[in-house]
Amino acid sequence: MSAPGTLAGVAWPRIAGQTRREQLLALLQQFAEAERWPAGLLQQHQLRQLALTVAHACRTVPFYQQRFGAAGYRAGDALTPERLRDLPLLTRRDIQDAGAALRSSAIPPQFGAVHENRTSGATGQPVQVTRTALDALIWQANTLRDHRWHRRDPSLKLAAIRALPPGDADPPLGVTAAGWGAASEALGPTGPAALLTLNADVAVQAAWLRRHAPGYLLTYPSNLAALLAHFARAGERLPGLRAVLTVGETVSAALRAACGETLGVGIEDVYSSQELGYIALQCPVSGQYHVMAESVLVEVLDAEGRPCAPGETGRLVISSLHNHATPLIRYELRDHAEVGGPCACGRTLPTLARIAGRSRNMVRLPDGSMHWPMVGFHRFREIAPVRQYQMVQRAPDAIEVRLACDRALGAVEEAQLGEVIRNALGHPFRLDFAYFEGELPRAPNGKFEEFVCAIPAD
């Protein structure tokens, strides 16, 4: 995507420059300015940009034409905080039901190439969302912002252990690269990177990390917990490690303490989603989370749909400011967060004191090893009309598969799903299928995990 000056459909932040480097540097400069604006000025720019996205949705997205029309909203209407709250929420079920009707029939060509994201989130409800090169550019700018806030040394090695498609970065070697990735390398040379799939046994992960001796480790909190337990039992650390970068799950105070005690470093967390990109970054000064207000507008709402005050916890509702391919307007993530207050760092971006998101458990194999429970959800909808799933491990060799489907499944479909699940988990578990109408039941605390290990801890 090239941008000689400004893009039609983008009022803020301005996309300037011919090269990716120039565009990223221009965005970083605008981020540095906006993150210290008065709250009212920041909100004014957010609403101005979101109004363009809403107007585009009204004109070119069948789903929103019907929905916003019923709400009395027309393209070009003024968008105020109160008017925004009049618009209905978008749920994962809405995205599933709408399908192609949620996609724009006229994606602006100046927004660049269109790509598709698939995600289950932590809800077990797979969705597909299209995004453009513009979204990818802003994602990269926020990646660089995160590195700059935490003053990371780009000359060090970055190691990442995360979910990957089968065959990518398999154990025991994983894969290596000359640099940290497109965002960092656009601004200059970096140290090397190493990548390993999350399917690797924890002991294999630990050995891999010892060989690579990275300056930074990126992984999921639940996987980090398993690694910390392994290193604590062995009485080992990772010499040269500067920090652990976490994504994808809630980070508890206990995990932060364990990381400091076991590895001698802190955790630097990111709150993001495949559908929306970066949502909030952990502040290096206060530990609160700053909302990435240049790319998303975040609402924290109580049970009646009213904005929560600082110190109150509510459900997160997020609007993407720039997605003109699959606009996500007032999207309810089904995560909860506590509203934060003014930050000691001096940045005036909105704050979240705590992310009360959902965390997945580790799957236990009969030999005692553990790994991340990837269950092949990407293929579920190819086989059967699965709306929501949950796995409950009842025994070392048995898993209950809970499904909510559009209709009853046949024996062939059930067998095909079972094959996908067993292959993804890496073990021939006995699978007991259970079917539910509507949504799957939640835990008493209101949370939902797509994989629950019900085997008592040793």
Domain assignment of residue 287, yes or no? yes
**Cα–Cα distance for residue pair 67/331, rounded to 1 Å:** 14
Residue 118's domain comprises 20-140+273-356
pLDDT at 11 over 60: yes
Beta bridge partners of 158: 193, 216
Domain assignment of residue 186, yes or no? no
Domain assignment of residue 61, yes or no? yes
| Predicted confidence band of residue 357 (pLDDT cuts 50, 70, 90) | low
Domain assignment of residue 300, yes or no? yes
Predicted TM-score of the model (pTM): 0.82
Residues 352 and 431 in one domain: no
**Cα–Cα distance for residue pair 380/433, rounded to 1 Å:** 14
| Predicted confidence band of residue 4 (pLDDT cuts 50, 70, 90) | very low
Domain assignment of residue 260, yes or no? no
Residues 283 and 333 in one domain: yes
Residue 435 near residue 405, CB atoms below 8 Å: yes
What is the crossing angle of helices 202-212 and 221-234, to 10°?
80
Domain assignment of residue 325, yes or no? yes
Spell out the residues 6+ positions from residue 41 whose beta carbon is closer than 8 angstroms to its own: none
Spell out the residues 6+ positions from residue 159 whose beta carbon is closer than 8 angstroms to its own: 193, 194, 195, 196, 208, 209, 212, 214, 216, 217, 218
Percent of the chain whose predicted confidence (pLDDT) is above 90? 71
Provide the terminal-to-terminal Cα distance of the chain, rounded to the nearest Å: 53
Domain assignment of residue 405, yes or no? yes
Residue where a domain stops, chosen among 290, 322, 356? 356
pLDDT, one tens digit per residue, over 120-158 is: 655 556 788 999 999 999 999 999 999 999 999 999 999
Q: What are the tokens at 50?
A: 């979101």
Range of weakest confidence among 84-88, 273-277, 354-358, 437-441: 354-358
Percent of the chain whose predicted confidence (pLDDT) is above 70? 93
| Predicted confidence band of residue 361 (pLDDT cuts 50, 70, 90) | low
Residues 24 and 136 in one domain: yes
pLDDT, one tens digit per residue, over 368-383 is: 887 767 666 678 888 9
Residues 311 and 406 in one domain: no
Domain assignment of residue 439, yes or no? yes
| Per-residue confidence (pLDDT) for residue 7, from 0 to 100 | 82
Residues 442 and 401 in one domain: yes
| Better-predicted residue by pLDDT, 439 or 169 | 169
What integer best gives the mean pLDDT of the chain? 91
| Predicted confidence band of residue 442 (pLDDT cuts 50, 70, 90) | low
| Per-residue confidence (pLDDT) for residue 450, from 0 to 100 | 77
CATH code: domain of residue 375 = 3.30.300.30
CATH code: domain of residue 136 = 3.40.50.12780
Residues 320 and 379 in one domain: no
Residue where a domain stops, chosen among 327, 356, 385? 356
Residues 328 and 368 in one domain: no
Residue where a domain stops, chosen among 325, 356, 387? 356
Residues 50 and 127 in one domain: yes
Domain total of the chain? 2
DSSP state of 361: P
Residues 59 and 118 in one domain: yes
| Predicted confidence band of residue 2 (pLDDT cuts 50, 70, 90) | very low
